[in-house]
Structure 1
Amino acid sequence: MLQVQNLTKRYGDKTAVNDMSFIVPDGKVTGFLGPNGAGKSTTMRMLVGLHKPTSGEALVNGKNYQSLKSPLHTVGALLDGKSVHPGRSARTHLMSIALTHGISAKRVDEVIGMTGLSQVAKRKVGGFSLGMNQRLGIASAILGDPHNVILDEPVNGLDPEGVVWVRQLAKYLASEGRAVLISSHLMSEMAQTADDLIIIGRGRLLEHTSIDELISRVGGHKVLVRTDERDLFASLLAERSLPFEAVDTDGLLVSADARDLGELALREQILLYELAPHEATLEDVYLEITRSEVEYVSDELPGAGAVAAGSSAPNAPAADPQLQPVTSSPEHSFIDETQQGNGRNI
């Protein structure tokens, strides 16, 4: 179990984490979401002892990181996939961690195969692509078979097959009773991976709940209406104080009953060519919750128009030609990511 209690971290006059408390329970994948600069990475780094809290506690199995007798076997964390000496090979890097923590060479070879690095295991890490570095980071994490898993943007740079593999890995870890905390900016992927969500903004806890409960509560009941007379229909909605938002160039997302909207269009002789219930996505509710928490807001692009509330999540990263497909197997014991630094797990 991972836990933070009244956790605060300040850098001078800037508060990165502000009196935050939450629990990541065993047996679940907990998604950790928030805009850039929200404090996710800082919180994760305090959990593994890389940053010292200004106040409050960051605990692993009820203890702070420094008091753990076997850190690598208790918690593993992928925090920076590039924190490896570029002159080392992947296998040499993993062996150095293994030797420090009494892990066998057999286990090293096992995780190399598990993460799809067999063909590049003897290649220097300095020539690795972003996706290959991420896989090496995950291999480092699963080396010690820890009970708690912390993965910061693990799908960054991975091809679609790799993204699916990380999803399966996270779910398998949780099924073994491990606590899994995973951050990502891919909302569509998080919706398929996480059981619960922690959403933060500007260092504060905004939400901690299940995905289904969050979408039901924040997303609400809406209807998608499309018509060539959108502006006229919008004015009728405004007269009746019905909340709505523009979607694309011809649509409206309305908080009302579909029957009532259909009857309104019929009375006013407005032709509708779409009238359908709209189910909110995780991306929809995430953007709604964090709307006022974003530090950097871009101007609207010329000709972009209104953005649909139900717009799809960003496309998955392009395939990495240097990596071969990986088939995860339940026969392997999965573990958490760690890097070696000054003889400790990071």
Structure 2
Amino acid sequence: MSFKNILGRKYLILVIVVIVGVAGVALYFRFSFTPDNTGDHPEFVVNDVVVGVRKAEIGENVPVRVTLSNTGGAGGTHLISLYADNQKEDSERVSLAAGESSEVLLFLSPSEPDNYQVRVSDLELGSVRFYVVEPLEPRDPLTWVNWSLDFLTDSNNENAPVHLHISASASSGIKVELYRIRNGGLNLIKEEWWTETEVSDRELTAVIGRGSPESQTLALIVKGPSGEDLYRGCKEYKEGKAEVKSVSLYRAAEGEEYRYALGKVKGEIQGDLPVFVARVKVSIDGEPVDAGLSKKGYVVRGYFPSVLIYSEVKKGPHQIEVSFFDEKGREVCSFGGTKIFG
């Protein structure tokens, strides 16, 4: 082996030794002298959360108490937030020294009645129910309360009223307050004082709409002689929705002004409030024809007023489309594709 080769190998070994040495020194300092950074910054932890109540009325502030702790090694500031259905309700910025804890008071106060899922930061807290009027079952001296709707089924008056009747039984005088709920608030409709001797014979009656009323929510509060609440309740009366299920076509008898009649118009009413039919539009094969109702009136037990067709219809099969409208001009329902013969 030549001297040159021996010298080359020595240099290679020397380079390897130097590299290994430098790496060893670096590792030594890395593990021996790396500063401890685990405690030089704040760490915030949310715990001991207490929700004041799980049921409340709109307008109340529900307190949520939160204990916030700084478990880190340095002081800092943290923004803690309260959410209802992912909408921020309240927040507070808290400054804590290392190892310090503080109680934070946040408030939940949504503007609409609902069942809200609540959380603080990422900590889920369950639900809180907000009422416009928190329900209260009848209590002594009140025995029971009854709500009932009434409308004139045979009326052809577009402004025929829809009545709500409230009756009760109690062994003392009571005050009855009826409200309409709008935009999360109470609007007084009617209030009456009933003496003990009047309770069994009295009835609070209020008009809650005419013709085809729109959906609405009503609240009833019954108070005792000293003003204490004996009953609180809410009822949602949903707008009536009509749907035609079947219809029969008749040719008019001789001497009648109309040519055809769509009778036995049978359907279904969904919802709590009545549907009043005031107008009708009819088209045959896509063309409007002269038509009207036998009378204006409520859809009672699913039966619509008969539809009278005054236009002459040529012989042969035709497609008919019919739309019913209430007294406000809103379409109540429609049906089509029915085949008729001239």
TM-score range, shorter chain: under 0.3
Structure number with the higher helix fraction is 1
TM-score (norm 2): 0.22
Larger Rg: 2
Give the structure-1-normalised TM-score.
0.21
